[in-house]
Amino acid sequence: MRLIIILLILAFQSAQAQQYTIIHVIGKIYDNQTQTYLKSGTKLTDDSKLKFETPHARAAALSNTRGRYVIQHQTTQAERSDLAYTLSTVLAPARGKMSTRSGSINNQMDFVKKFGEGPLAIVGGRLATAISPTAYPTDDTHFFYASFLFNNEAINKKLDVIDNQLVFDIKSFYTIDGITIDPKQTSETTLYYYDSNKEESIAITSLDFEVVSDDELSHIAKAMGELNNTEQVNAIREIVTALYGACQADQIKAAIQNLN
């Protein structure tokens, strides 16, 4: 009788074990138990053994009872990529960084708070932020531009201001001589404000963009299909923020509408 009770308890505990379903993967993460790489739909448990084979590899997962999680290991150069980690040690709730400020930018400190405190996710191929035309007038002699390195060459990109909004259009931003480049191959991006009357460029803030492609966004959105519109937008923002960088719900909403 005692053996039966123990078996029932073990069976109950097994039934209650947490199971995680992979929603989205960035980079290469290897599951030692199944000997396969993580992909959308992969099932994991707390004792799954994972190897992070590419730098900054990470994944989003949905728990069967606990909500959304991020799988990520902060590696150092001294660590080997063949080390395996138990899932429970590399799992964290997908809260991510709070979304960036949405008010108008009036001074350099506002720019730093908006852009300089960590990566920003760009969804829908575009990022626009309101700026004060009084603090930063723009015309033929006053304008913003961004500068980054690509293949050790400095690339300058003049930025449009439309209806008092500074616009980063990713298609043109990461195009050189008509050829689209990989944003991950650029470095040291800085925003400048130029005054030709003074022949002066003022460094405003660093820029750190993580571009979310339409395919990636669509993939994440499909995993949230059972939620209502508001819940879906908030869930997608949570995942995008945790995996890529800070963003706002209205950016996600607009990008999702453009996908349809």
Same domain, 155 and 172: yes
Look at residue 67 in the predicted model and tell me its pLDDT.
83
pLDDT in tens, 16-53: 568 999 999 999 999 999 999 999 999 999 999 999 99
For the segment 169-180, what is each residue's pLDDT rounded down to a tens digit? 999 999 999 999
Q: For 125-152, how does the pLDDT look when each residue is reduced to its tens digit (9 = 90+)?
A: 999 999 999 999 999 999 999 999 999 9
- In this predicted structure, what is the pLDDT of residue 81? 62
Q: Domain check: are 158 and 191 in the same one?
A: yes
What confidence category does residue 83 fall into, taking pLDDT thresholds of 50, 70 and 90? confident
Domain that holds residue 60: 17-93
Among 68, 93, 118, the domain boundary falls at: 93
Query: What pLDDT was estimated at residue 6?
Result: 46
Task: Quickly tell me which residue has 């800070």 as its tokens.
Answer: 246
Of 61, 93, 125, the residue that ends a domain is 93
Any residues with CB less than 8 A from the CB of 20 and at least 6 apart, and which? 43, 44, 45, 61, 62, 63, 64, 69, 87, 91
State the total domains in the chain. Answer: 2
Q: What is the mean pLDDT of residues 214-225?
A: 88
Residue 229's pLDDT is what?
A: 84
pTM assigned to the model: 0.81
Q: Which residues contact 21 (CB under 8 A, 6 or more apart)?
A: 41, 42, 43, 44, 61, 62, 64
- Rounded to the nearest integer, the mean pLDDT of the chain is 86
Give the H or E element holding residue 113. helix 108-115
